[in-house]
A = this chain, B = another copy of it.
Amino acid sequence: MEERTEINNLGEFGLIDHLTRNIEIRNAGTILGVGDDGAVIDHFGKQTVVSTDMLVEGIHFDLMYTPLKHLGYKSVIVNLSDIYAMNAVPTQITMSIAFSNRFSLEALDEFYEGVYAACERYNVDLIGGDTTSSQKGFVISVTAIGEVAPGKFVKRSTAQKGDLLCVSGNLGAAYLGLTILEREKQIFLENPKVQPDLENQTYIIGRQLKPEARPDIISFLAEKEILPTAMMDVSDGLSSEILHICRQSELGCVLYEDKIPVHDEARQMAMQFGLDPTACALSGGEDYELLFTMKQEDYDKIVLNEEIAVIGYMTGPEEGAHIITRGGNRHEITAQGWNAFK
């Protein structure tokens, strides 16, 4: 039988001590970490980038098919992704959680295992947080802090007409992973004896449950001395993000359907579900890839990088935002990105 330790036996400070007992500090700038009213960071002349995200049980995740370790990992990744999207390098996070008494100490340990795994992989220090109870459900709030050389951060609002529109990796798989998990959940609810059928779908499901951020793209761009003209991460779906860049940069764009990178397994799975792979990429969300614009003259520097696809270009605002389909048709791009209030 699994062990179950009740958290109220430890008390708040006992719990914090327990959860943070193995913290390692990896950044020289982390002057003071967990255990005081605040943490202290020295950025040694760099600028600080801050981003925060809240994840709510039943809205952003379903614990029926999300292992807590994966949830801890993903909670960190989604925030680091925002820091990279500013062209910065994440250095610290704070992690606050509220949870009901249905969670045991072992469950929290599992969650924090994922948190620490992400911190280790991305070389980030956990420097603080809050640990409290909730009446119902699990709520996670992460703030990520990063650093960037003064003036080198990249906003969404600074794309220029004629710039190339680029995206890293591939899109739509995380949404298809979610679709599979939701299907298996329904099958399980109808007949708890049926075992989930997740074979041959590890890539897609991994994209949903254990996403990664793209520091490799940030390093590559720095190495090639490319400063993107605008950048953001793809969390709500490609169409929603493109419209953010268009609106905030006061531009239009042309996007080519056949240039949108979709993984083979995602394409096959979309077909199985009777879904359009392009629609999954445009509206699916949670891919945590980087969407950026850059000057045309930088094209030669990226052409050999298989992890970067040029998917279109920026136009004047009067042309609006359009997609050219494989069939050569032109459609307006609409925001069908994931909306927490739908």
Contacts and interface: CB of A to CB of B under 8 A. Distances in A.
Interface stretch (A53-61, A159-167, A250-258, A307-315): A53-61
A134 B134 CA distance: 12
Contacts of A341: 7-8, 10-12, 15, 133
A227 to B, nearest CB: 15
B133 A52 contact: no
Interface size band for A = 35 or more
A340 interface: yes
A54 B130 contact: yes
Interface stretch (A68-76, A79-87, A196-204, A295-303): A79-87
B56 A49 contact: no
Number of copies: 2
Interface string A127-156: 111101111110101011110101001011
A340 B15 CA distance: 11
Given A133-B56, A133-B340, A156-B36, A41 B47 contact: yes
B53 A86 contact: no
Contact of A145 (B50, B98, B137, B139): B50
Contact of A8 (B12, B60, B342): B342
Contacts of A233: 37
Given A8-B342, A133-B340, A134-B59, A49 B39 contact: yes
Given A35-B156, A36-B248, A37-B156, 10 more contacts: A38-B51, A38-B83, A40-B49, A40-B50, A41-B47, A41-B49, A50-B92, A135-B136, A139-B139, A143-B143
